[in-house]
Chains A and B, each alone.
Chain A
Amino acid sequence: MLPTDSNKALSFKRGIQDGDLVIVYERHDVMKPVKVTKDGVLQNRFGFYKHSDWIGKPLGTKVFSNKGKFVYLLAPTPELWTLVLSHRTQILYIADISFVVMYLEVVPGCVVLESGTGSGSLSTSLARAVAPTGHVYSFDYHEQRAACAREDFEMTGISSLVTVEVRDIQGQGFPEKLSGLADSVFLDLPQPWLAVPSAAKMLKEDGVLCSFSPCIEQVQRTCEVLRSDFIEIRTFEVLLRTYEVKEMKVETVAVIGESQDEEDNGGPRPSKRKHLSNNGDYAVSHDNSSNATSVVMARPCSEARGHTGYLTFARLQCLS
């Protein structure tokens, strides 16, 4: 997934190879990760696609099914991965992920601790940020979840950057061996305040901690504990609003009272377009195909994620 392996980096010249992970894109909401194999076949509602037809083609191209329907084959990115990974837990999405990585000041070479691993959505983005020389240590108390995450990281090719361990961070804290080595710590735990003292021990001075909690009561208790060792404690909520874009034919109709003459000779003038008529009666009565203009318009989508969680950031005090 990451270009650290120059053989996998995007290029006009590079064709899809046996063993590549690709994202099969049907629509923005229908995508699927597929490992390319010589004899592999992908089946969907449009028919079947032979992997052997894909090999040698560049990524980002259309491939056709036996029925002549097409899908796109895309290079995996952490963003696409977040959309296609199997949800073993509630996962973090792009807005929170982006903000966390930036606010934790994660740059190449950093050591980042994370608990829990969950479905590995954030871990993948953290790995991208610490590459090529840094490392992510991810902990989850759930044995099976940890195993699945390891498999995923193997598949996406980031396993050299992420170590997954089974450990109850709330109960046991982070392992001693990482003491004072972490540039940043991320907590997504039901009782994050229990892990804060251990997180403080792991962090380098001036290192940043982030705690993600869906409930304000969790935030409240976490902040109380943070105040003893941390400064710059700040809590945020970050959401995304997406927009629909449509081209629509709108009638440009003269305001009643204005002469029809002027409209015909002058054509639609910018000032007139303000008088767009939503009212069918007028539009119809003045119907005249030259008066219909195509306009590209945008409006917010009607539904959106209203809440994910609160993000609390804090910086370890510098005492030396």
Chain B
Amino acid sequence: MEHSEDQTSMPEKNINSKRQDPNPRFASEGCSVLLDVNDGDRLVFARLSPGAIFKIGNTKYSLKPMIGAPFGSLFQVETGEEGSFLSRVLPIKKESSSSNVIDDVRDNRELIDDNESQNLTAEEIEAMRRDGAKGDEIIEALIANSKTFDKKFQLSQEKYLLKKQKKYAPKVLLRRPFARSICEAYFKKYPARIGFIRVDALSLLLTMANVTAYSDVLVVDMVGGLVTGAVAERLGGTGYVCNTYKGNSPYSVDMVRMFNFTDKVIERIVHSSIHELSSPKTALPEENNQQESSKSDMIEDISVTAEAIVDDGVTESKIIKAPQPGAKASKEAVEMWKENGFSSLIMAAQDQDPWTLAKDVLPLLSYSAPFAIYHQYLQPLATCMHNLQQGKMAINLQITEPWLREYQVLPSRTHPHMQMSSFGGYVLSGIRISTTT
């Protein structure tokens, strides 16, 4: 009897112990992963379970092969007797070829866009696939049957190959979700949900608010939990990130579930209303039972929206619940903050006027505490900065806007990307000072 009980509880223990690793290197069952299809063309969040399904093109693939694989491993599509599946590939070491492309004498003058250059028909390609041909084999066949491939300029050949690889031999990279990749994925797909915070702006917020272990960071996160999660990531299970809000209900921080936080980190994510934090030191009403009720609210919230970010291709047939972030801050913690003040503040309140919020929230910070206020519009931040200056509430005030440009770096073909994001948000930063003396 005892023996069998032990056996049944074993696997769960294993999962748990893996999850507690502060910096996990392997994707375990139940963990959140980021799937990067074809070098960032598509980024999809998923929760690993044997039943989880992922769609590329029109084909569905089970994510089961990814369970237990190290983060950073690469998967390719293969076709076997039981249909298509994802299979781990170990990359072959490439020798870097730096042939001088400028000297290529071929050019594209003879190319005519008449859709006649490919001899293989769609049906023939599909048949090859059904017979279990690998993506690379299909591409070889495409090249062999292309009338124009050999005549193309070398660079055009490379482009052609890349295009065909993406279509016929898609690669899926298994990535660990970090604040960086989560922000990038949202910025690419649903920028409005994160208030258009680009990854460089997010990094500035964390830096300017001096987020580090053992700090008590006050946040106003109206960007779905991105800022809360990013702060918690830097706290590593120490200090607190306290999400504050106006009114009665805390803002949703669902996105925190995308991070693979240990329970230790999750425990450090709490919320408390501005009213509770600013009321003079007395007993807080309905402290005890509210903890329970707010917690159950969160569960419902999450199951609705967590699904929404997951690319429509992904269905989680068996959702394994991650621990629920965002419990109500304990009475002791609130008292501690009233006595000591928070060590810094980040505000990312999309639909709020920064000044209206800041004048209530800034007094909750310790003197000399740095703060960073994000907004996607300049004018409200300018007004906020002016008022802070006039009220002598803060010094070292500055509004900055980060600018980020990515480059293509290739032999003889290095240049900035043709398309870039031209806006990643504004940040007002400063240091709270004591107004008395």
Contact = CB atoms under 8 A, between A and B. Distances in A.
A143 B402 CA distance: 36
Interface residues on A, range: 35 or more
Given A98-B207, A296-B383, A296-B386, A234 B414 contact: no
Interface string A1-29: 01110100111110000000000010010
A318 B66 CA distance: 14
B378 interface: yes
Interface string A216-243: 1001100111011101111111111111
A12 B367 contact: yes
Contacts of A318: 70-74
B433 A61 contact: yes
Contact of B370 (A13, A62, A77, A103): A77
A22 to B, nearest CB: 9
B395 A108 contact: no
B212 interface: yes
B219 to A, nearest CB: 16
A60 B366 contact: yes
Contacts of B178: 105, 107
A320 interface: yes
B401 to A, nearest CB: 5
Contacts of B215: 3, 9
A187 interface: no
B432 to A, nearest CB: 6
B366 A108 contact: no
B402 A61 contact: no
A102 B199 contact: yes
Given A61-B433, A206-B70, A228-B95, A239 B409 contact: no
Interface residues of B, number: 83
A240 B91 contact: no
A183 B200 CA distance: 21
B434 A103 contact: no
A141 interface: no
Given A231-B91, A242-B400, A79 B199 contact: no
B214 interface: yes
Nearest to A22: B368
B406 interface: yes
Interface string A290-307: 000000111010000000
A94 B214 contact: no
Interface string A108-123: 1110000000000000
Contact of B378 (A102, A109, A298): A298
A110 B409 contact: no
Contacts of B341: 10-12
Interface of A: 2-4, 6, 9-13, 25, 28, 58-62, 72-75, 77-79, 94-95, 97-99, 101-103, 105, 107-110, 125, 128-129, 131-133, 183, 204-206, 216, 219-220, 223-225, 227-229, 231-243, 245, 247, 296-298, 300, 310, 312, 315-320
